[in-house]
Amino acid sequence: MATIPGPAGFRAVRCTAPPHLDKADGVSNILEKIMQTKRGEVDAARQRVPEEALREQLAEAPPVRDFVQALRDAKRVGLIAEVKKASPSAGLIREDFDPVKIALTYQQHGANCLSVLTDEQYFQGHLDYLKEVRKAVRIPVLRKEFILDRYQILEARAAGADSILLIAECLPQEQLADLYACSRELGMEPLIELYEPDNLERVLSLNPQLVGVNNRNLKTFVTDLEHSFRLRKQVPADVVFVSESGIKTHADVERLAAANVQAMLVGESLMRQPDIGVAVQQLLGSTAS
């Protein structure tokens, strides 16, 4: 794919549609396609930068910001605002895409944490976006990626990430536990995401501080906030529970608060708005800038 210079001089992807993943393929096939791509990417990255060299870069990484505490300190429902250009299901979400400008707008208008997409092929993200965003903001930043290897976690920390995403549906238990431990060793508390209720027990067996529930049905792509409400009852109260997908209005946020959901991850519904700052304020029910 052709590229053009991005904001702040880093690489950006042209505004072309990402690869389309047909939901008729089934969720297992869709995730396997993505994970197969990731395996190839990790192998190629290791060839460019050996793991030993990557570990040496950790000494230059900024100190980890406390992602969990930032959400606990939120006045009501903590906001993880997502910097997201495109997705396989939605296509191009925002054409005028300046990740640093968007991140600063999120921060100014009340986001507690940020999530930055770094997948290139399916979401038109880039690890450089995370690096530049992390340098520009004061709040914690999560690397949103399909992580299957410790190498990607080292990459994330070297780039300045304060947290990472681990997706239970993509990882067998031994691998999930290993990646969780690796992230903790580097000082980052991961956000462990699940959709299928059957995965909740194995996620909770790791004693995580952060659990995310995706409200998007991975077979139909329909979102339903009730999915979070049902699973919230099964997660210990001291675990920060993050509701993901389908959150669009302040009324949705009020419903989350009433269900003792401590945090939400919101991306597409904010990224599509002409004025992202106003959209954040409306979502949070705030008028302060």
Q: Tell me the backbone φ, ψ of residue 80, rounded to 5 degrees.
A: -95, 105
Pick among 3.20.20.70, 1.10.10.10, 3.40.250.10, 3.40.50.300: CATH of 21-284? 3.20.20.70
How many CA atoms lie within 13 Å of 234's alpha carbon, on the beta-carbon side?
A: 17
For 76-122, the pLDDT digits (tens) are 999 999 999 988 777 898 989 999 999 999 999 999 999 999 999 99
For 240-254, the pLDDT digits (tens) are 999 999 999 999 999
Residue 83 contacts residue 103 (beta carbons within 8 Å): yes
User: 257: part of which helix (H) or strand (E)?
Assistant: helix 250-258
Decide: residue 238, CB within 10 A, 0-12 exposed, 13-18 middle, 19+ buried.
exposed
Distance CA 224, CA 73 (A): 27
Cα–Cα distances in Å, from 117 out to 107, 121, 123? 17, 11, 7
Q: Tell me the backbone φ, ψ of residue 187, rounded to 5 degrees.
A: 90, 5
For 38-59, the pLDDT digits (tens) are 999 999 999 999 999 999 999 9
Q: Tell me the backbone φ, ψ of residue 283, rounded to 5 degrees.
A: -60, -45
Q: Determine the straight-line distance between the first and last CA of the chain, rounded to whole angstroms.
A: 38
Distance CA 284, CA 224 (A): 20
Position with higher pLDDT, 259 vs 31: 259
